[in-house]
Amino acid sequence: MANLNVSPTLIRRALRVGLAVVAGVLVLAAGALGYRAWRQHENSLALAIDPKTGVEETMFVPLGGVPQWIQIRGDDRRNPVLLFVHGGPGGTVSPVSSLLRPWEKYFTVVMWDQRDAGKTFVRNGAVREMSLPRVAQDGIELTQFLCRRLGKRKIIVLGHSWGTMVGLSMVVSRPDLFSAYVGTGQVVSIAEKEPVIYARTMARLRAAHDEDGIRRLSASGAPPYRTDHQMVVERAMSERTDIPSERDILRDLLPVALVAPDWSLLDLYLSLQAPEPAEEATFDADASYDARQFATELRLPFFIINGALDHITPTDLAKRYFDKVHAPQKQFDVLNGVGHSAVLTEPDVFLHELVTRVRPVAMMPAGETK
């Protein structure tokens, strides 16, 4: 039998090395956390708004019986209010709202973490009632709250992706509360777009000779999808052949989120868990969504601003829908060289469209249209 006796000297040396490694890791971690705290403090100072002229608030507001987190920021209280309705479902963009700091010169921008998203999810977890009609009603309740709190008769709603489904439902139900609707990554029909996305993704994979991607997409199966997992596979394969700004969006936005003021690492981690229960809760019902069935006769100005290279909500499908819509005023703008998340990857270009097209409408006296 081998001699298992170990020299006490060797044991002491091993312990010293182990303790040194642990100490080194702790020092590095403390340094990283200290640097992050400093960056968050610096960002907070840089993003500060003069309270004499503007507004800078965060709070939980009860909507549909669920406390939901909002952020209100703007340099001038006289500006129009713009409610950002995020995509997903479950996909908050509040941690990267600093990207929209230039917007706050022209609008009072409201970020809203819907039920099953962001800080609302962190506080409440997955809620029992999660559906498109319920989130749209939450949005109407929030709009009424904002009008009272900010002294406005109407506000602008800007929906992104799933947020366009929420936003359109809101303005169709209560057009009296809104001065304009803006959609980006505009969803028209789930049943129509998914086969288009699948076919175009497969074509890009074949053009790239991506045999692994072709195999995985084929194995998952073509629409109509029976489970949300199939759609997740499709989106992942689409992302592999998307333009760099879309393919790398999480990597590019993570450094912004990590130093967001008032967002802890736990907040960020838990927020990343939110989309799964949100998508599971809405997948079956949303499969029948079709804006053409309820939102072609609108009673307010209607704008779509889509990336030309949007592979998730194809711009050609959005344009066909736009052409069927009747509204007091409407405008369709295509942003060249950008994709589904144009509002986040090119926020300054997007702002130019908002200031040029939408802000003048929102500033008009009630009852007037251009």
* Residue 254, CA distances (Å) to 51, 246, 291, 343, 357 in order: 29, 14, 33, 16, 31
Q: What is the pLDDT of residue 35?
A: 85
Instruction: Say what the pTM is.
Output: 0.91
Tokens describing residue 327: 């509204």
Q: What is the pLDDT of residue 30?
A: 72
Q: What is the bridge-based pairing of β-strands 66-74 and 55-63?
A: antiparallel
Q: Cα–Cα distance between 197 and 203 in angstroms, integer? A: 10
| Tens digit of pLDDT at every position of the chain (370 positions) | 445 565 666 555 655 666 566 666 666 667 778 888 889 899 899 999 999 999 999 999 999 999 999 999 999 999 999 999 999 999 999 999 999 999 999 999 999 999 999 999 999 999 989 999 999 999 999 999 999 999 999 999 999 999 999 999 999 999 999 999 999 999 999 999 999 999 999 999 999 999 999 999 999 999 999 988 899 999 999 999 999 999 999 999 999 999 999 999 999 999 999 999 999 999 998 999 999 999 999 999 999 999 999 999 999 999 999 999 999 999 999 999 999 999 999 999 999 999 999 999 999 775 455 5
Q: Find the radius of gyration of the CA atoms of the chain.
A: 24
Residue ranges of the alpha helices (H) in 289-346? 315-324, 342-345
318 within 8 A of 306, measured Cβ to Cβ: yes
Q: 18 in helix, strand or coil?
A: helix
Q: Cα–Cα distance between 326 and 62 in angstroms, integer? A: 34
Q: What is the pLDDT of residue 1?
A: 47
How many other C-beta atoms can be found within 10 angstroms of the C-beta atom of residue 7?
8
Q: How far apart are the first and last CA of the chain?
A: 94
Tokens 């175009």 -> residue: 200
* Residue 45, CA distances (Å) to 36, 40, 48, 49 in order: 14, 9, 5, 9
302 within 8 A of 181, measured Cβ to Cβ: yes
Which amino acid is present at 124?
N
Residue ranges of the alpha helices (H) in 47-159? 118-124, 132-150
Q: Among 282, 289, 283, which Cα is nearest to 131's? A: 282
Q: Torsion angle, CA of 286/292/297/303, rounded to 10 degrees?
A: 80
